[in-house]
Amino acid sequence: MEPREQESSELLRQEKMRRTLALIEAALYVAGRPLDLKTLGSVIKTRSKKKIKALADGLMKGYENRDTALEIVELEDERFVMQLKAEYTPRVRRLAIRPLLSVGPLKTLSYVAYRQPVSQIQVVEVRGHHSYNHLKKLEELGLINRERVGRTKVIVTTEFFADYFGLSHDVRIMKKQLKSIFGEFAKPES
């Protein structure tokens, strides 16, 4: 191959790589939730988990080297998410267009996530009778499951909940993550 052909071939390879990384970036941005390797692979049209992981890792490293408010984070089970860096969240939270949940249902969901598995009776005792409506809405959104056990219902969060909020699917790890998050919100803004 002549030097000119090699240079042209290298430019084409670099352009293809740039577009592939841009597709992964676009998928993470649009999804707004963690995506697994299979899903990312469907976007870039490959099944090679090794290749997809290497590309996602490369994109993540690229974001680490940028001085931006966004980051790409790898979660357990080889899932990746694009998110706002924690240091920027308190200052821009109020600008979010429309939150998924209002404050009441969000507090009920927080309680369920931290105490799960938790009985519906316990949720109502702590959060009040209005929590019946919260639980109905949370179930409709696919964030919780309610399962009848005897005369009561036991409530747990779903995998969709964990993915949406970028938390572990393992409940013990999730509870530690939530404890850390709750601790961050309790700190005064500087």
Grouped pLDDT means (10 residues each) for the chain, 190 residues: 77 90 92 88 92 94 91 87 85 69 87 92 93 92 91 91 83 86 62
- For residue 177, give Cα distances in angstroms to 31, 34, 57, 118, 156: 22, 16, 22, 18, 16
Which residues fall within 8 angstroms of residue 102, CB to CB, at 6 or more apart? none
> What secondary structure letter does DSSP report for 71?
E
What the block records as the tokens of 42 is 């469907």
pLDDT at 99: 62
Task: List the domains of the chain with CATH numbers.
Answer: 3-88 (1.10.10.10), 103-186 (1.10.10.10)
pLDDT at 10: 83
Q: Which stretch of DSSP H or E encloses residue 5?
A: helix 3-31
pLDDT at 71: 92
Angle at 77 between CA 75 and CA 80, to 5 degrees: 40
